[in-house]
Structure 1
Amino acid sequence: MVIMDKLLETLESINSDELDKLLDQRDEDPFDSAWINLNQKVSKINVSIDNKDLFIKLSSATNHHEVCSYIADDLELINKAETLGIESEFLGYLKQCYEQGEVPN
């Protein structure tokens, strides 16, 4: 999967301090409130993706389990929103980041 390869390459090039900074940025607004808002919209649907293999691959690349968990949550959020046919600027941003192999923040 090309997108996964790009993401793994990006994660392997980021050190632990940079990953911590990225996570801090995600916990601030406007990212945090936009993520929560979209998650509330899709929480009604009981669709999930198997994140175990993804989490293991990402963890191997980073040794940073928190960022791996966030990425898995993002991908599940994207999947649920697409299943429900929800479109938003924030969803577009998430998808664009992952298509470019970046972790959104």
Structure 2
Amino acid sequence: MLDINHTTAWIELLSTYEVNPKYGNPDVINQYLDQRDADPFDSQWMVAHGDLTAIIDSILVADRKEIEMLQDRASKQIYETIIGQTSHADLAAYASDDVRLIVGFLVTGRVNSFVLEMKESYERGDLPNVEESPFS
């Protein structure tokens, strides 16, 4: 059974997201993105994505469509928010991918500690921490 209400409430919370002012500097953004593309963050993200893909592949097609609609809504919202605040398309795309992953776990009711930490980062108005991952 999908957790639509909780997920929708979280997506609504994203509408108030404000990018940390330190990401107003393109050099800071590029350094952040480089760190995301390195281990341990990158490999942990990929494992979580693989886990979510397996979860979604195992559920009903109608539920998959509902998940995809929620993911699309959330990813578009965060993309537009970040591009509007930073004008940095790559940063917006990474955040959009993060939010798709978070929403997938939320709506399916599954727990992944790495994804949970990313979710909490966005709730605090920050981007996921790439410097010291407690999951490595």
Instruction: Give TM-score, length-normalised by structure 2.
Output: 0.67
2:81 match: 57
Flag the structure with larger Rg: 2
Q: Distance in 2 between matches of 1:41 and 1:26?
A: 19
Q: Deviations over 1:18-60 (max 9, x none)?
A: 0001101111111111100000011142322223343222111
Query: Do residues 24 (structure 1) and 48 (structure 2) align?
Result: no
How far off its partner does 1:85 sit? Answer: 2.3
* 19-28 vs 41-50, greater mean Cα deviation: 41-50
Higher relative contact order (CA 8 A, sep 6+): 1
- Please say which of residues 51-60 and 95-104 is displaced more in the overlay: 51-60
Task: Report the TM-score, using the length of structure 1 for normalisation.
Answer: 0.84
Number of residue-to-residue matches in the alignment: 103
Structure-2 change in CA distance of 1:27 and 1:95 (3 Å): same
Identify if the C-alpha distance between structure 1 residues 98 and 54 changes in structure 2 by more than 3 Å, giving closer, same or farther: closer
Residue of 28, 46, 49 corresponding to 1:36: 46
Q: Which runs of 5+ in 2 are unaligned?
A: 1-11, 57-63, 131-136
Aligned to 1:96: 120
Give the structure 2 partner of residue 87 of structure 1: 111
Q: Which amino acid aligns with 2:114?
A: F
